[in-house]
A = this chain, B = another copy of it.
Amino acid sequence: MLTAELIQEAADFLRGRIRRTPMERSQALSDHLGVPVYLKLESLQETGSFKVRGALFALHRARERGVGHVATCSAGNHGKGVAYAASELGMKATIFVPSSVDESKLKAMASLGADVRISEFPGYDETESWALDECESLDLPFISAYDDFEVMAGNGGTVALEVLEDVPEARRFVMPAGGGGHSAGFSFVVRDRFPDAHITLCQHEQSPAFQMSIECGRAVTELPAFQTLAGGLEGGFGTNTFNILRSRYTDVVLVSEAELRRAMRWMMAEHGHVIEGSSAVALAACFRNDFERPDAPTVIFISGRNIGEESLNNVLDEAD
């Protein structure tokens, strides 16, 4: 279960093991939205994304239960986070990745000492079912990238504690939502402290799993893959994360591929930071006409910077 105690335990464990990432004021967005706007730059976190928080905490808790070897399925930031966490904590990690995995991510996980298993399937969903079967036969505990309470506590809860410490007057929060691991932990902390806080979840218009889940009244846990720079936002929502978020979110904004690419260029031009596509949806949301104007200091969560050089080059090459 997700509790304030679990989140505090995660924060205590992570102190000194991860970076305290900066909160950067955005003058341009403050001017645009008419309230002070801050960016929580988890793109500057160790491993290039916030996912290392949940990975470190979940592996630590597994180790406390006597586990020395864990498995996960991810070709992205969670996989990198788990590989890093295992190497830091002296554990073994087996990481199942789709056959479409990018060479540089594979290299990064392997160089951290992870045992990387490449699936015969290019998509995430088939790879995950294969991974779950393998874990069962190998008797390996599987750490979900999002639908796990320790991951939620680490990924979202501890970020929220830092955000509220650094900008205590913030009441509007804007963040991307993929499987919901970050946003569930984050909104759990914020809503408890400020019942009137406004929490905006941002998704890709081609993969609006949270919005569909709200409409159905239950978590839509699978959605087809598609070509996007926001790979972290593809696919279905978590069941546990949906149950936490359904009573805590305020609204959802959907963003197009062109909008998120434009937001990546904006971030580079205005702040000089590279961010990945999944991070850019939250920024892109703020520039849309259907974005409800904030009436309080606003924090935008910037989740990661892991993007291939070629993709970045393509994005920067486009004219506005």
User: Which residues of A does B touch, CB under 8 Å?
Assistant: 19-20, 22, 24, 27, 44, 46, 48, 104, 111, 265, 268-269, 272-274, 305-307, 309, 312-313, 316-317
List the 3 closest A-B pairs by CB distance, nearest first. Answer: A313-B316, A269-B309, A272-B305
Contact among B19, B265, B268 with A22 in the assembled complex (CB-CB below 8 Å): B19
**Bound-complex Cα distance A307 to B274 (A):** 12
CB distance from A309 to the nearest CB of B (A): 5
Residues of B within 8 A of A111 (CB): 27
Kindly report which residue of chain B lies nearest to residue A307, judged by CB atoms: B272
Is B22 touching A44 in the complex (CB atoms < 8 A)? yes
Residues of B within 8 A of A104 (CB): 269
Residues of B within 8 A of A19 (CB): 22
Residues of B within 8 A of A48 (CB): 272
CB distance from A66 to the nearest CB of B (A): 30
Is B22 touching A309 in the complex (CB atoms < 8 A)? no
A313 touching B307 in the complex, CB below 8 Å, given contacts A22-B19, A48-B272, A274-B274 = no
Beyond A22-B44, A268-B312, A272-B307, 9 additional contacts (C-beta under 8 Å) are A19-B22, A22-B46, A24-B46, A27-B111, A272-B274, A272-B305, A272-B306, A273-B274, A313-B316
